[in-house]
């Protein structure tokens, strides 16, 4: 009969484990991941790096200057255009985008909310709206010219059509995605239909509605290019078309750059409003900060003070908490206000 294998000595295992050499500060710093702020700075620097590379490629003759102008030439063209003329083009396009986006978003929220609350209305209107959503922007141009002439009305209407469908779809999907348990809780608490929409459905659907608004705003900036083909004499879309017809590629790229800057600026404003309106939400930023805290704790393992030079290989305790959204006091709100 074979004798059982001797059990390992705990003291030897502990001493072997604790005899691991302590990592120096430089090694820990190399293994520590970059913070989220560093990645954001890299994201801001990326466009400037790309512009610098394009400048070098054009100056070195790797890219044809008549097809891709150097960024310095684009900046010089904008400077030569003059502030008054440039602001006139920017102001015209911005006004059309904001007017069309506001009109399309209001209609989308109202109609989408009605369709989200009524399955019958959705069954009637959804096939038509899905067919209209597939129509390209340029296909609306001759129709709007026939109906509204060549004034500002067809331009704003075309932008409103582009902004309508993303917002409409997000409103309907956001209302349908509300947890049914919250709706049932509101009914049990005695909330009226209007109070149910105001206290439960609308707050729960707001994250998806804001996502649709940001997409609709981006589509509005794209549709304004087609809108300014309708007998326009000012606007960034007109500047882009004029540069194409006259062979001024610097004007074309200048209009593209300005479209990108204005789109980013307007999206940042809408994102700021979203963050202020949804401060109760468990955001991705809080989760990222918690993950970075966990990783930093894992890389910064502590040294054992009981034995000089010994390294404690015990994994660190992860105790960071991710904030959770507050509980909505539906029942108390309903009884307090008598709704």
pLDDT in tens, 107-166: 999 999 999 988 899 999 999 999 999 998 888 988 988 898 888 899 999 999 999 999
Q: Which of 73-87, 161-175, 295-309 has the lowest mean pLDDT?
A: 295-309
Q: What is the number of other CB atoms lying within 10 angstroms of the CB of residue 9?
A: 10
**Domain locations in the chain?**
69-279
CA–CA gap between residue 90 and residue 211 (Å, rounded): 25
pLDDT of residue 27: 60
pLDDT grade, residue 213 (50/70/90)? very high
Q: For the whole model, what pTM was predicted?
A: 0.73
Q: What's domain 69-279's architecture? A: Orthogonal Bundle (1.10)
pLDDT in tens, 13-41: 444 445 455 555 556 555 667 788 888 88
pLDDT at 293 over 60: no
pLDDT of residue 202: 86
CA–CA gap between residue 253 and residue 175 (Å, rounded): 41
CA 332, chain centre distance (Å): 35
Q: What is the mean pLDDT of the chain?
A: 79
pLDDT of residue 38: 87
What percent of the chain is modeled with pLDDT above 90? 34
pLDDT at 307 over 80: no
Residue partners of 116: CB distance under 8 A and separation at least 6:
122, 171, 172, 174, 175, 176, 201, 205
pLDDT in tens, 243-292: 888 888 889 999 999 999 999 999 999 999 998 888 877 655 544 554 45
Burial of 130 (C-beta count, 10 Å sphere; 0-12/13-18/19+): exposed
Q: With H, G, I as helix, E, B as strand and everything else as coil, classify residue 303.
A: strand
């Amino acid at each position: 009969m074979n004798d059982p294998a001797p059990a390992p000595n705990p003291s030897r295992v502990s001493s072997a484990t604790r005899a691991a050499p302590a990592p120096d500060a430089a090694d820990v710093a190399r293994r520590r991941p970059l913070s989220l702020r560093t990645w954001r700075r890299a994201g801001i620097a990326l466009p400037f790096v790309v512009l610098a590379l394009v400048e070098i490629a054009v100056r070195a003759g790797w890219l044809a200057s008549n097809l891709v102008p150097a960024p310095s030439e684009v900046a010089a063209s904008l400077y030569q255009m003059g502030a008054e003329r440039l602001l006139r083009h920017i102001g015209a396009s911005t006004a059309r985008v904001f007017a069309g986006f506001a009109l399309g978003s209001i209609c989308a929220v109202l109609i989408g909310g009605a369709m989200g609350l009524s399955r019958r209305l959705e069954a009637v209107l959804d096939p038509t709206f899905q067919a209209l959503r597939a129509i390209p922007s340029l296909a609306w141009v001759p129709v709007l010219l026939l109906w509204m002439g060549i004034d500002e009305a067809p331009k704003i209407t075309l932008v409103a059509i582009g902004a309508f469908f993303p917002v409409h779809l997000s409103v309907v999907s956001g209302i349908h995605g509300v947890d049914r348990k919250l709706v049932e809780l509101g009914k049990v608490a005695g909330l009226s239909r209007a109070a149910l929409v105001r206290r439960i459905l609308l707050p729960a659907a707001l994250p998806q509605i804001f996502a649709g608004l940001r997409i609709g705003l981006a589509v509005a900036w794209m549709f304004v290019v087609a809108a300014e083909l309708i007998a326009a004499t000012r606007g960034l879309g007109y500047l882009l078309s004029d540069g194409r017809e006259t062979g001024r590629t610097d004007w074309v790229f200048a209009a593209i750059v300005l479209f990108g800057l204005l789109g980013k600026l307007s999206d940042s404003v809408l994102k700021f409003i979203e963050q202020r309106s949804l401060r109760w939400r468990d955001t991705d930023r809080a989760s990222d900060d918690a993950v970075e805290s966990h990783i930093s704790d894992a890389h910064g393992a502590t040294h054992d003070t009981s034995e000089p030079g010994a390294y404690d290989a015990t994994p660190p305790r992860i105790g960071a908490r991710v904030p959770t959204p507050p509980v909505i006091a539906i029942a108390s709100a309903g009884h307090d206000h008598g709704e």
